[in-house]
Amino acid sequence: MTYYSLNRQAPDATFEEAVVKGLAPDKGLYFPASVTPFTNDFLNTLENLSDHDIAIQTIKQFVLPDIPEKALEEIISDTLDFDFPIVKLNENISTLELFHGPTMAFKDVGARFMARCLGYFNKHNEHEVTVLVATSGDTGGAVANGFLGVKGVHVVILYPSGKVSNIQEKQLTTHQQNITALEVDGVFDDCQDMVKQAFLDEELTSQLQLTSANSINVARWLPQMFYFIFAYKRLKSHHKQISFSIPSGNFGNICAGMMLQKLGLPIHHFIASNNANNVVAQYLHSEIYSPKASVQTISNAMDVGNPSNFIRIQEIYGNDFQNLKHHLSSFSYSDTMTKSAMRELYDVYNYVADPHGAVGYLGAKDYLKINPDTHCVFLETAHPTKFLDVVEDVIDIKLELPEQIKSVIDKEKSSIPISHYAELKSFLLSCS
């Protein structure tokens, strides 16, 4: 597969180049040059195939020939060694649980897939790659876990001090080896700005092979397609039309679902469910796209003021506003509404949701009001114990900690505090 830059000022790239660079030299996001839709035969017989085989068929065209099929099979087996269950709440609403991986966030799949791709490319390579990543919470833990011990890769994670949950912080600051956590005096957008500045800094990029592990990286973005096709497979025989409500921050996850629709998977509609950070909802309303500083909410992994993948979404729908509106709705919810949704899910369905999943549930409900004939799947993107304080407080229960969480909670935090770009830069230069 060839990838082009959405800024259209850079040469095309192979999959390997796109993964290693992260962002194109003209600072554009990479986008696949052509896609071959699924065959009807594949779609009609999905339910007879294993998740593993479906994943291979879904992603193969995007990574071949840079990663040959045999190696890809190993990467997929390694990446997907946990479950993706659907829990049906009622006739119209189900949730797809994406939190059964090692850090209990849906980002595990993308992080593990990308780490293994880089590991594959680095097998015969002497130069270390530095993965630089800004996190609003869950990315850091998933990336740290996914990349731990991968040869030739040093991971540097920037996170906003005091703005991630205790468990999230433990998940990203308690690894050693090739993982470093930088604790930034600021908000997520400050972290993201510093990362962007580093990629633009020629003094740095001439000395270090920098890449990103945010969802702008094609190797993190594309494996998220698996969720939607797994859900489709599980629900296909029961429902005519399936729509997805995706709790969205940087819009990488939802954008992967949209690629799948481009490949021919019959997804009826997408609902971008947002907290107070509602740039896209406002855009769909006014046709004016105005990024803003992010505001802090209880669903902090979605506290994003300028979603980096939105440009890919516009590309998918041909930069046509009406076309986009036809496929995408977006709703925004306050923390108060999110909390009542968590209570409702518990009281009515005996389901414990985390705040992000609860936002997804609200989006599903609102969409069903205008479109009662669809079956709506909301993605539950994090295990509720990752937001322990909020969840226990809102629904007044004591949650049992799963093994994955217990194993980090008592570990010692280790982070390097920084407050300015200059400190990030000198740290990176000291590693080169």
Ligand X SMILES: *Cc1c(COP(=O)(O)O)cnc(C)c1O
Q: For ligand X, which residue of 109, 301, 342, 390 counts as binding (CB under 6 A)?
A: 301
In the structure encoding, which two tokens stand for residue 264, read together?
């021919």
Q: Which of residues 189-248 bind ligand X (CB under 6 A)?
A: 215, 247-248
| Cβ-based nearer residue to ligand X, 62 or 121 | 62
Q: Among all residues, whose Cβ is closest to ligand X?
A: 138
Select the residue interacting with ligand X from 58, 250, 297, 374 (CB under 6 A): 250
- Residues in 95-134 at the binding interface with ligand X, rule: CB under 6 A: 105, 107
Site string for ligand X, 33-62 (x = CB under 6 A): ------------------------------
Per CB under 6 A, the segment of 18-26, 251-259, 368-376, 394-402 that binds ligand X is 251-259
- Number of C-alpha atoms within 13 angstroms, CB side, residue 367? 32
Query: Cβ of residue 289: shortest distance to ligand X, in angstroms?
Result: 16
Task: Find out whether 245 and 379 touch, Cβ atoms under 8 Å.
Answer: yes
- Contact with ligand X (CB under 6 A): which of 329, 381, 385, 404? 381
Minimum CB distance to ligand X, residue 12 (Å): 25
Answer yes or no whether residue 312 interacts with ligand X by CB under 6 A: no
Rounded Cα distance, 428 and 121, in Å: 22
Which stretches of 64-212 are DSSP H helices? 69-79, 107-122, 138-147, 166-173, 188-200, 202-205
**CA-CA distance, 258 to 32, in Å (whole number)?**
13
Nearer to ligand X, 53 or 392 (CB): 392
Closest distance to ligand X from the beta carbon of 251 (Å): 5
Q: How far is the CB of 247 from ligand X (least distance, A)?
A: 4
Piece in contact with ligand X (CB under 6 A), picked from 1-9, 250-258, 289-297, 414-422: 250-258
Conformational region of residue 430, where left means phi above 0, alpha means psi within -120 to 50, and beta covers everything else? alpha
Closer Cβ to ligand X, 265 or 302, answer by number:
302
Q: Which is nearer to ligand X, 84 or 120 (CB)?
A: 84
352 vs 428 by CB, closer to ligand X: 352
The one-character DSSP state at 263 is T
Least Cα distance to 344 among 323, 321, 362 occurs for 362
Contact present, 389 and 147 (Cβ < 8 Å) = no
305 is an interface residue for ligand X by CB under 6 A = no
Q: Which residues have C-beta within 8 Å of that of residue 326, sequence separation ≥ 6?
A: none
Joined tokens for residue 113: 């897939």
Q: Which is nearer to ligand X, 121 or 188 (CB)?
A: 188
Instruction: Choose, by CB under 6 A, the member of 22, 160, 252, 257 that binds ligand X.
Output: 252
Count of residues engaged in binding ligand X, rule: CB under 6 A: 17
Out of 302, 311, 324, 388, name the contact with ligand X by CB under 6 A: 302
Residue 159 near ligand X by CB under 6 A:
no
The minimum distance between CB 272 and ligand X, in angstroms, equals: 8
Please, what's the largest Cα pairwise distance for the chain? 58
Distance CA 342, CA 392 (A): 11
Q: Kindly tell me which of 80 and 98 has the beta carbon lying closer to ligand X.
A: 98
Distances (CA, A) of 273 to 120, 186, 387, 395: 35, 25, 18, 21
Measuring CA to CA, how many Å separate 328 from each of 44, 71, 257, 344, 407?
Answer: 25, 36, 11, 26, 39
Which of residues 251 and 346 has its CB atom nearest to ligand X in the complex?
251
In the complex, the smallest distance separating the C-beta of residue 306 from ligand X, rounded to whole angstroms, is: 12
Dig out the tokens for 361 from the structure. 């549930």
CB 182 within 8 A of CB 418: yes
Q: Which of 3, 251, 333, 346 binds ligand X (CB under 6 A)?
A: 251
CB-based contacts of 195, cutoff 8 Å, min separation 6: 132, 133, 134, 158, 212, 214
Cα(152)–Cα(131) distance, integer angstroms: 10
**Member of 21, 356, 365, 375 binding ligand X (CB under 6 A):** 356
- Over the window 253 to 272, marking each residue x when it contacts ligand X by CB under 6 A and - when it does not, the resulting string is x-------------------
- 278 token code pair: 């509602």
Shortest reach from residue 238's CB to ligand X, in Å: 26
Interface positions with ligand X (CB under 6 A): 105, 107, 137-138, 215, 247-253, 301-302, 356, 381-382
